[in-house]
Structure formats: structure tokens, C-alpha cells
């Protein structure tokens, strides 16, 4: 553990934004502060999938308040994740710029299955230990995550496009709770569940847990009416369904003791939970008090203790795609050596860039399993689109972009950013791939890479260069590639 002992997680959900600040003592997390604001971001999605101005204003105001509490914490002690609405919104990139400015920390948009993994992690760490396989269901504002896991290990993860906000808006938008609307909502949810039903049906697990605000609200309603002593039961849901239909509209639910912000999204959440019980043959579900934000905290704790899930994923991908580990190691060692030569003594923190370069080097040949011709393009596609536990969508995109630029035309694939380490990492990777082309443990020359602004210079042993004309020719071609994108790269050969 490093000198700091305070970490924080921000869950930017489709219904609510949540902030959890915690103290770390050895391997345990102790909550210090918790904030929740109902932003209902999913309700601000227009039919053509754009976040409207009002929802953006509400979200930014909330993020400014969260930013005040997080002020002073280092970037590596805070992890912020955006979920389904961020995944869907076409104007999410533009909104993210404003959101990050308001919060003061970078925001990761995570994939549905990564969200499911983190939810399970939050539930499993705080639930009593058991030998049973658990089914965890989390009904969020815009998506529903289903996970089967054992101990702390998620075994199956799925994310479905249905949530309490989106379904309440779609089927109960006028505030009316009619028999037909409820039937249509339940039917739509059951259709969504059909794609995962076989793998998530009872018999694949022994214990069901609900981890969302919807699950907690439903459990509270059943307990208040003596329809279930603890958690959610199938029988209790049937009775609650009759009560909701009798009420007929959302505004009549204020006498049930629900929090005001939960009432407008209860019908949609109920319809999804009812469908989950029916399709997966659940008779009883206990309810957890933890979910995504706690999972993010424990995942962040793992990174701080050098138990990063992203490293596990990279190693799994190397095995899955039959990457040559010796060649990957050659490229990794040389690219990191060159990168460190140039970035040593820099004022900025280059640890993240170095870590990403290491992953890129380990996975740079992942596309060869598809075809050798243009394998860097296949590699980039896999890295940008595969489910990669631990990685955010932005991290996958950055990794894919770096791997795509490892060879071939730079002008076609490279859009230079203002971050100098991006150029350096790509140059280091390209040079490592070039020098390790023989795929054997040949003795490479001493080399020194230097940088001054947009100018790079590599110094090599003159005698070695004369004895390796193929490499010399490739280096001269590299000079021209960088010149085409406005970067001066030169080669100096001298007797060393």
C-alpha cells in the first residue's frame, strides 16, 4: 500500500450518481463518506439517443458537489465509472469533457459485462462466506446485470438493455399503471431474458441476491405488508403486483413509505424483477446493501496492491490467442527500455503510459491468430471490441490504437495527441517490433533514444548498422513515416 490510505469510487448510474469514500486498513475497506443523488440520466435520453440539456445540467451540478468532497485526493486513489446511459448516448464524448472538468477526475465508460463483474465483486466481498454458487441480479436505471459466481470469482456475466428508468419511461411514461402496460413491460423483459435464460436458470446456482435500489425498495414493500419476512419472494411479488394495479398510478404510491425519488421508477423496476423471477425460476431472493461502487473500491484496492485484474486479462488473452510469449517478452523489454530512456526525469507521471505500453507489447501479435497480413488491424479490432475484464472502454480504445500503429503507415492510423508520451510509446513499440523482427534472441546493439520536443533521435553502433542492411533500410523507412505525421525522427550511427 502506498502512503495514502483513503480511496474513493464514483458510480455514474443511469438512475443515481453515487460517491463512496473509504479508508483502507491492510486488505479491508472501511466507509468514511457516502453520497447519493438521483439524477435519472437515462430519462434524459432522447429517442435518437442524445442526452438532453436538462439532464446534462443536473448531472454536472451533482458532479461539482462530488468534486468538492474528492478534492485533494490523488488521481490513482479515485476511480469513476459511467454505465449504460454513457454507453448509449451519442453525445457522450462531448458531455464527458464537461463532466470531467466538473468532477476533477477522469471518467471511464465501462462495458456491460465489466459492470456486472464489478457488481459481483462488491456483493461477494460484503456477503457472508458460502460454498454455494450465487446468482446476483442488479436492476439499474438503464441496464440489468446478471452474474453467477463462486466465492469472489464471477463465472458468468451478462448485461441486458432494460432498466427501471428506461422501462418506466417506455411503459409507464404517463404515470398510469394499467394491466396492459404491466403485461407489455413484463413481456418485453422476459424477451430480453430469453438470450441468457438457459445459462442462468435455477440449477446453475443455489442462492439468488438482488443488489440494486430496485431490489431494496421491493424488499421493503414486501416486508411492510407482511408478504415476506426477508428479501423478495415470488409469492410476495404476485401480491405486490395486484396492489400496484389497484393503485393505478404512480402518484398514489406515496402512501407506501417509499422514498419520493423511487416512486416514478418503481413500476418499470417491478416489471423487470417479476420477469427475472419468472424466467429464471426464482422463488426467493435475498438483498445486498452493496453493489457497483463497492466493487469499484475493491477493484481499485487490488490495483494498489498490485493485483490488477487487467494484468490477469492480458495474460488470459495471450493464452487464448496463442501469442508467442518469448517474442512478446522481447518486444516488451525493448520497448520499455526505449520508453524509459526518453521519459526518465519527466515532470509528468508516466506510470500509466508505461503500463499501457507494456500491455500493448504483450498483446501486439494478438491479430496473427486471424491472419498475418495486416495483423495489427485485426489486433486493434479485438482489443477495442472484446470483453476485457478490468479495462474501461477508453482504455481498450487507447490500447487498440497503440497496437494498430505498431507497423505500417502512420499517416493512416495515427492522430498525434498533445501528450508527448503517446508519441514516445508508439515510437518505442514500433522500434521494438522492428529490431525484434528475427524472433530470435540475437544480440542487439546498444541504442540511445533521445527527445527534444517533437524531435527524436536514436544513436546506434555504426558497425552493427553496416552488418544489418535490412534493419537499416527499415529504419530509413521509419524516418519517412514519422516525417509524414510531422515528427522529426533521425538516426545517428557512430562507433560505440
Q: What is the pLDDT of residue 349?
A: 64
How many other CB atoms are found less than 10 A from the CB of residue 388? 25
Ordered per-residue pLDDT tens for the chain, 496 residues? 444 489 999 999 999 999 999 998 877 888 999 999 999 999 999 999 999 999 999 999 999 999 999 999 999 999 999 999 999 999 999 999 999 999 999 999 999 999 999 999 999 988 888 889 999 999 999 999 999 999 999 999 999 999 999 999 999 999 999 999 999 999 999 999 999 999 999 999 999 999 989 999 999 999 999 998 899 999 999 999 999 999 999 988 887 778 888 999 999 999 999 999 999 999 999 999 899 999 999 999 988 787 888 999 999 999 999 999 999 999 999 999 999 999 876 655 688 889 999 999 999 999 998 998 899 999 999 999 998 989 988 899 999 999 999 999 888 777 666 566 678 999 999 999 999 999 998 889 889 999 988 899 999 999 999 999 999 999 999 999 999 988 999 999 887 6
Per-residue pLDDT at 303: 85
Name the DSSP class of 264. Answer: G
Predicted pLDDT of residue 350: 80
81 close to 14: Cβ distance less than 8 angstroms: no
The predicted pLDDT at position 1 comes to: 41
How much is the pLDDT for 219?
95
Q: Which long-range contacts (CB under 8 A, 24 or more apart) does 248-252 make?
A: 248/176, 248/177, 248/178, 249/175, 249/176, 249/177, 250/172, 250/175, 250/177, 251/175
32 contacts: CB under 8 Å, gap ≥ 6:
6, 21, 22, 23
Q: Can you give the pLDDT at residue 28?
A: 80
Give the model's pLDDT for residue 422.
Answer: 79
Any residues with CB less than 8 A from the CB of 392 and at least 6 apart, and which?
81, 108, 109, 110, 114
Tens-digit pLDDT profile for residues 155-172: 999 999 999 999 999 999
Tell me the DSSP string of 110-166. Answer: PPHHHHHHHHHHHHHHHSPP-SSEEEEEEE-SS-EEEEEEETTEEEEEEEES--HHH
Q: Where would I find the H helices in 172-308?
A: 179-193, 197-200, 213-224, 234-247, 266-280, 292-304
Among 92, 76, 167, 159, residue whose Cα is nearest residue 119? 159
Q: What totals of helices (H) and strands (E) does the chain contain, helices first?
A: 20, 14
- pTM of the model as a whole: 0.84
Phi, psi (deg, nearest 5) at residue 226: 60, 35
User: Residue 359: CB partners within 8 Å, gap ≥ 6?
Assistant: 310, 314, 399
pLDDT at position 261, please? 87
The neighbouring-strand residues paired with 133 are 150
DSSP 328-375: HHHHHHHHHHHHHHHHTT-SS--HHHHHHHHHHHHHTTGGGGT-STTH
The secondary structure of the chain in percent helix, strand, coil, rounded to multiples of 5, reads 55, 20, 30
HSE value, Cβ hemisphere, 13 Å, CA-based, for 92:
21
pLDDT at position 3 is 41
- The secondary structure of residue 250, as a DSSP letter, is G
Task: Supply the pLDDT for residue 2.
Answer: 47
Element (H, E) at 478: helix 469-484
Kindly state the helix (H) or strand (E) to which residue 377 belongs, with its residue range: helix 375-385
Amino acid 495: pLDDT: 73
Instruction: Determine the Cα angle at 424 with ends 448 and 397, to 5°.
Output: 150
Amino acid at each position: 500500500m502506498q502512503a495514502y490510505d483513503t480511496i474513493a469510487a464514483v458510480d455514474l448510474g443511469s438512475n443515481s450518481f453515487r460517491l463512496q469514500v473509504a479508508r483502507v486498513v491492510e486488505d479491508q475497506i472501511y466507509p468514511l463518506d457516502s453520497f447519493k443523488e438521483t439524477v435519472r440520466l437515462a430519462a434524459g435520453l432522447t429517442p435518437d439517443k442524445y442526452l438532453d440539456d436538462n439532464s446534462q445540467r443536473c448531472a454536472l451540478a451533482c458532479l461539482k458537489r462530488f468534486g468538492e468532497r474528492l478534492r485533494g485526493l490523488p488521481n490513482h486513489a479515485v476511480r469513476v465509472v459511467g454505465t449504460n446511459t454513457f454507453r448509449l448516448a451519442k453525445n457522450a464524448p462531448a458531455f464527458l469533457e464537461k463532466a470531467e472538468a466538473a468532477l476533477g477526475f477522469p471518467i471511464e465508460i465501462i462495458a456491460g459485462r465489466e459492470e456486472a463483474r464489478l457488481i459481483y465483486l462488491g456483493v461477494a466481498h460484503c456477503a457472508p462466506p458460502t460454498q454455494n454458487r450465487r446468482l446476483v441480479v442488479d436492476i439499474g436505471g438503464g441496464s440489468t446485470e446478471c452474474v453467477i459466481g463462486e466465492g469472489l470469482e464471477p463465472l458468468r456475466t451478462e448485461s441486458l438493455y432494460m432498466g427501471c428508468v428506461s422501462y418506466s419511461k417506455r411503459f409507464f411514461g404517463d404515470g398510469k399503471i394499467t394491466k396492459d402496460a404491466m403485461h407489455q413491460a413484463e413481456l418485453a423483459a422476459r424477451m430480453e431474458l430469453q438470450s441468457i435464460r438457459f445459462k442462468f436458470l435455477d440449477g446453475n446456482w443455489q442462492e439468488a441476491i438482488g443488489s440494486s435500489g430496485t431490489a431494496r425498495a421491493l424488499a421493503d414493500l414486501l416486508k411492510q405488508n407482511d408478504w415476506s419476512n426477508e428479501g423478495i419472494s415470488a409469492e410476495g411479488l404476485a401480491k405486490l403486483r395486484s396492489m400496484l394495479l389497484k393503485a393505478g398510478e404512480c402518484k398514489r404510491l406515496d402512501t407506501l413509505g417509499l422514498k419520493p425519488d423511487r416512486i416514478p421508477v418503481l413500476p418499470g423496476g417491478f416489471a423487470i424483477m417479476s420477469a427475472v423471477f419468472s424466467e429464471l425460476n426464482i422463488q426467493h431472493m435475498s438483498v445486498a446493501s452493496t453493489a457497483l461502487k463497492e466493487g469499484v473500491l475493491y477493484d481499485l484496492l487490488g490495483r494498489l496492491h498490485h493485483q490488477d485484474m487487467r494484468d490477469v486479462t492480458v495474460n488470459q488473452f495471450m493464452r487464448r490467442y496463442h501469442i508467442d510469449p518469448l517474442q512478446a517478452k522481447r518486444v516488451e523489454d525493448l520497448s520499455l527500455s526505449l520508453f524509459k530512456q526518453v521519459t526518465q526525469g519527466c515532470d509528468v507521471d508516466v506510470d500509466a503510459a508505461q503500463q499501457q505500453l507494456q500491455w500493448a507489447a504483450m498483446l501486439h501479435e494478438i491479430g496473427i491468430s486471424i491472419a498475418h497480413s495486416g495483423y495489427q488491424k485485426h489486433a486493434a479490432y479485438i482489443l477495442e471490441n472484446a470483453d476485457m475484464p478490468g479495462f474501461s472502454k477508453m482504455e481498450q480504445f487507447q490500447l487498440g490504437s497503440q497496437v494498430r500503429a505498431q507497423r505500417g503507415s502512420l499517416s493512416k492510423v495515427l492522430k498525434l495527441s498533445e501528450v508527448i508520451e503517446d508519441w514516445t510509446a508508439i515510437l518505442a513499440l514500433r522500434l521494438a517490433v522492428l529490431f525484434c523482427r528475427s524472433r530470435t534472441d540475437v544480440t542487439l546493439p546498444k541504442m540511445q533514444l533521445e527527445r527534444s520536443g517533437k524531435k527524436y533521435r536514436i544513436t546506434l553502433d555504426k558497425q552493427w548498422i553496416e552488418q544489418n542492411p535490412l534493419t537499416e533500410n527499415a529504419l530509413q523507412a521509419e524516418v519517412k513515416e514519422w516525417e509524414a505525421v510531422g515528427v522529426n525522427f533521425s538516426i545517428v550511427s557512430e562507433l560505440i
